[in-house]
């Protein structure tokens, strides 16, 4: 962990580009984040089924925490009193927190959206809460987040242009209020979030509004909300280009391995997704040869590892037969091992892309990635 | 791990005694077992919520595997084809397997007991199975168990003397059949199981029958089946003394920390129990100051560790407030951390007793153990 308490700082340096793909380093007082970076999601102050040391061992430089979940339980004030989220969850490296805006719209009950913010009821206990740009900034500060996200709002897709434009413009007004409320916090970063759905003109308008305000990094929001990979990639063909070259670009909530590779190819530096951990708890493994459903009876007698080339504990120490058995037996080690494998594989993809971009061989790396996936899983024994 | 493939062996050496408490070492080709030993239970080829490396890190020298569960799923034949239980579950140190007899009587459906053995239906899928001394020996051999238990049977207590005597004598006939079926397996041990309920004369008769057959170690069965600690200790005041001094004595299915200490005081060398792992999954922690229910609201804002003197990961890296939060949030790390703590604490008790017996200070150690427990949990913040 690189830490310089004398000069708290947040900076981004681009080390190499290959086509539109980029590799670099985000420096923070809590350590460096190598980009392109995949951020495991630690929703309720834990990456589900993992010890934080194990998450770090997969190669993760940064975690994502969810403001919505943490504000409801155990509450941001409680976490602040206990010394902040890093200490609370035993993760001393950087943490990015979302603003709560997306989860409020997708998880809470009886929500009411106004210019001021969102009133809603907790999905945990039905209690009433209010989120606004100012309250979101306050919560993320209480948590001690290193990378704070603007409070925003976005429609599920498909949506009509009028709804997308209105929502984007509200989010831009909230971005200004977020910036004002965030204030000056050396060593901490505030990211703006571009909205505008799949509409090129709105994406440009949103990027211009954000650049006018000025942020430490820029997220691409409002994608991976049901539009499918083709439309997401079409949007990523233009959306990142409207954002500054010299700041990190974060594509929120993405994705499957091929989504991630396609996003990096189009100039994205950071991503997050629950997929590797959620899949791990439901018996789904992601490997270089595609998805493996460990529940399938074909694995019951298979002495081979999930992926012979993988160096994670699940692949180094256990057979597919064991992984099948513990899944079928509802044993916790099933989720523990598959989550570890999936997170390890996702980080391996990121390292592969970072190395390939630095070497100027991203195109060959990408071809190999797709060719290997196209082989499909190994033949049954 | 001590391994000597040139001279496969199983032996027990007593290093010191203090009163009736004993400390020593069981040597096996897969490593030494320091006694008194507590064996975590890995029922379905996993100590629930734990990675095997972590179980080892708590200080466990040996695990227990359950014949009944493994024969039903994934089956002993499958495990044998996959290279045995040690490889299957990634635990290269010694494994003791029970005979299946106890679980058949407590877990299976529609069981029918005859002189020959027990016919029953699986609690997993209703399929029909048969267990006998010969089949139990076969299964434990297929699993590759280092310490094999005789197939036996025991009544729940209270039971009348007639039922206890008949059951004990059947178990003694089965012990002979177990010994005959086990045969000569250098480096592997077969343990007989003393029965006889709380009856001194039957315990003596059973011990005499077992010694006549001759075993590598002797278990005390039929206790911790509902009789309570007082009656168990009263029985342990005489039952171990009927068994050979120069062989390990294993008290099956025990117990809570004070049960364990009282058993060691009475000459027991080995124990196993699901308690530390089961408690860990239900929010119960065992500490030197007694039990802590982490669900309790008093912990919600408590920045202190579960036990300030404990060096386990749960106590080193997390507050009670965090442990409370993740339990309330149904996060897997709750069971992972509390199980780790509980297993660590149980092994710490064992190490404390081994050291005290070797130093001739067991009485003082025991007094301190009880005095510290009597303090109760630390005051709320």
Return d(Cα A243, Cα A205) in angstroms, integer.
Answer: 11
pTM over 0.90: yes
pLDDT at B154: 87
Q: How far apart are CA B202 and CA B184, in angstroms?
A: 29
Handedness of CA A300, A304, A308, A310 (dihedral sign): positive
Q: What confidence tens digit (pLDDT) does each residue in A323-378 have? A: 999 999 999 999 999 999 999 999 999 999 999 999 999 999 999 999 999 999 99
Given a cut of 80, whether residue A305 has pLDDT beyond it is yes
Report the pLDDT value the prediction gives residue B3, as an integer from 0 to 100. Answer: 47
**H-type alpha helices, B190-331:** 200-213, 229-236, 257-265, 275-281, 313-317, 320-328
Mean pLDDT of B291-315: 98
- Is pLDDT at B115 greater than 80 in this prediction? yes
Q: Under an 8 A CB cutoff, do B82 and A301 touch? A: yes
Tell me: pLDDT of B1 over 50: no
pLDDT at B9 over 90: no
**Per-residue model confidence as pLDDT tens digits over A111-159:** 899 999 999 999 899 999 999 999 999 999 999 999 999 999 988 888 9
CA distances (Å), B261 to each of B155, B287, B288, B363, in order? 25, 14, 13, 11
Average pLDDT value for chain B: 96
More confident residue, B111 or B370: B370
Is residue A180 part of the annotated active site? The answer reads: no
Mean predicted confidence (pLDDT) in B305-319: 98
The predicted structure's pLDDT at residue B173 = 98
- Give the total residue count for chain B: 381
SS (H, E, C) A254-318: CCCHHHHHHHHHCCCCEEEECHHHHHHHCCEEEECCEEEECCCHHHCCCCCCCCCCCCCHHHHHC
| C-alpha neighbours within 13 Å on the C-beta side of residue B153 | 24
Contact state of B46 with A73 under an 8 Å Cβ cutoff? no
> Across the interface, do B301 and A44 touch by the CB < 8 Å criterion?
no
H/E stretch holding A234: helix A229-236
pLDDT tens sequence across A23-40: 999 999 999 999 999 999
| Residue B153 to residue B133: CA distance in whole angstroms | 11
d(CA A192, CA A198): 18
Closest CA of chain B from A335, distance in Å: 9
- Whole-number pLDDT of residue A68: 96
At residue B8 the predicted structure's pLDDT band, cuts being 50, 70 and 90, is low
pLDDT at A3 (0 to 100): 47
Q: What is the mean pLDDT of residues A204-209?
A: 98
Query: Does position A179 have pLDDT exceeding 60, yes or no?
Result: yes
The whole-number pLDDT of residue B233 equals: 98
- Residue A319: list chain B partners with CB under 8 A: 82, 88
- Residue A7, pLDDT score: 55
Q: Is the pLDDT of residue B324 over 50?
A: yes
Across the A/B interface, how many CB contacts are shorter than 8 Å? 99
Is B318 within 8 Å of A45 when comparing Cβ atoms? no
**Rounded distance, CA A123 to CA B101, Å?**
47
Across the interface, whether the CB atoms of A301 and B78 are under 8 A apart is answered yes
Residue-wise pLDDT tens digits, B45-97:
999 999 999 999 999 999 999 999 999 999 999 999 999 999 999 999 999 99
Model confidence over B256-291: pLDDT tens digits?
Answer: 999 999 999 999 999 999 999 999 999 999 999 999
Q: Which residues of B touch A (CB under 8 A)?
A: 44-46, 48-51, 73-74, 78, 81-83, 88-90, 300-301, 303, 313, 317-319, 321-322, 324-326, 328-329, 331-333, 335-336
Backbone angles phi, psi at B303, to 5 degrees: -80, -5
Q: Are strands B217-220 and B249-251 parallel, antiparallel or unpaired?
A: parallel
- Cα–Cα distance for residue pair A129/B331, rounded to 1 Å: 23
Chain B CB contacts of A48 under 8 Å are 331-333
ipTM confidence score: 0.97
- Residue of A90, A334, A338 to mutate for B, most B C-beta atoms under 10 A: A90
Greatest Cα pair distance, chain B, in angstroms, is: 61
Question: How confident is the model over A281-293, as pLDDT tens digits?
Answer: 999 999 999 999 9
What integer pLDDT is reported at residue B44 of this predicted model?
A: 97
Contact criterion met (CB below 8 Å) for A350 and A59: yes
Mean of pLDDT values over A238-261:
98
Averaged pLDDT, B98-104: 93
Q: What is the mean pLDDT of residues B115-137?
A: 95
Q: Kindly state the greatest CA–CA separation across chain A.
A: 61
Confidence of residue A302 (pLDDT cuts 50, 70, 90): very high
Cβ within 8 Å of residue A320, ≥6 positions away: A292, A294, A299, A302, A303, A304, A305, A306
- Render pLDDT for B142-193 as a digit per residue (tens, 0 to 9): 999 999 999 999 888 889 999 999 999 999 999 999 999 999 999 999 999 9
Q: Is B20 exposed, middle or buried (0-12, 13-18, 19+ CB in 10 A)?
A: middle
How far is the CA of B251 from the CAs of B26, B32, B39, B220, in angstroms?
A: 15, 19, 11, 5
Q: Name the pLDDT band for A4 (thresholds 50, 70, 90).
A: very low
pLDDT score at A212 = 98
Mark out the alpha helices in A35-125 (DSSP H runs): 52-57, 67-72, 76-81, 85-89, 101-107
Task: Please indicate whether residue A377 is annotated as part of the active site.
Answer: no
What's the mean pLDDT when you consider all of chain A? 96
How far is Cα B29 from Cα B36, in angstroms, rounded to an integer?
A: 19
């Amino acid at each position: 962990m690189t830490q310089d308490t004398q000069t708290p700082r947040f900076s981004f340096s681009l080390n190499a580009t290959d086509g539109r793909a980029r590799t670099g380093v985000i420096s923070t007082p809590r350590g460096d984040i190598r980009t392109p970076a995949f951020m495991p999601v630690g929703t309720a102050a834990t990456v589900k089924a993992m010890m934080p040391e194990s998450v770090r061992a997969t190669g993760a430089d940064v975690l994502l925490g969810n403001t919505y979940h943490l504000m409801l339980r155990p509450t941001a004030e409680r976490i602040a009193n206990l010394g902040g989220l890093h200490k609370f969850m035993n993760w001393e490296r950087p943490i990015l927190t979302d603003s709560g805006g997306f989860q409020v719209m997708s998880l809470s009950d009886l929500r009411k959206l106004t210019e001021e913010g969102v009133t809603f009821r907790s999905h945990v206990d039905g209690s009433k809460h209010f989120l606004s740009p100012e309250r979101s900034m306050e919560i993320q500060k209480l948590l001690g987040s290193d990378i704070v996200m603007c409070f925003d709002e976005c429609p599920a897709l498909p949506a009509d242009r009028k709804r997308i434009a209105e929502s984007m413009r509200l989010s831009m007004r909230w971005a200004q209020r977020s910036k004002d409320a965030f204030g000056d916090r050396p060593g901490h970063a505030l990211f703006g979030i571009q909205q505008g759905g799949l509409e090129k003109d709105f994406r440009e308008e949103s990027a211009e509004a954000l650049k006018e305000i000025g942020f430490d990094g820029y997220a691409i929001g409002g994608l991976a909300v049901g539009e499918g990979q083709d439309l997401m990639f079409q949007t990523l063909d233009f959306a990142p280009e409207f954002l500054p070259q010299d700041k990190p670009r974060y594509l929120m909530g993405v994705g499957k391995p091929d989504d991630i590779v396609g996003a990096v190819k189009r100039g994205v530096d950071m991503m997050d997704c629950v997929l590797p951990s959620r899949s791990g708890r439901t018996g789904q493994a992601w490997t270089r040869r595609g998805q493996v459903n460990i529940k399938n009876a074909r694995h019951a007698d298979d002495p081979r590892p999930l992926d012979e080339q993988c160096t994670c504990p699940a692949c180094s120490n256990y057979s597919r037969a064991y992984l099948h058995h513990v899944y079928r037996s509802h044993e916790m080690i099933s989720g523990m091992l598959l989550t570890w494998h999936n997170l390890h594989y996702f980080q391996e993809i990121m390292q592969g892309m970072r190395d390939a971009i630095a070497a100027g061989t991203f195109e060959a790396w990408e071809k190999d990635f797709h060719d290997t996936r196209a082989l499909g899983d190994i033949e049954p024994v």
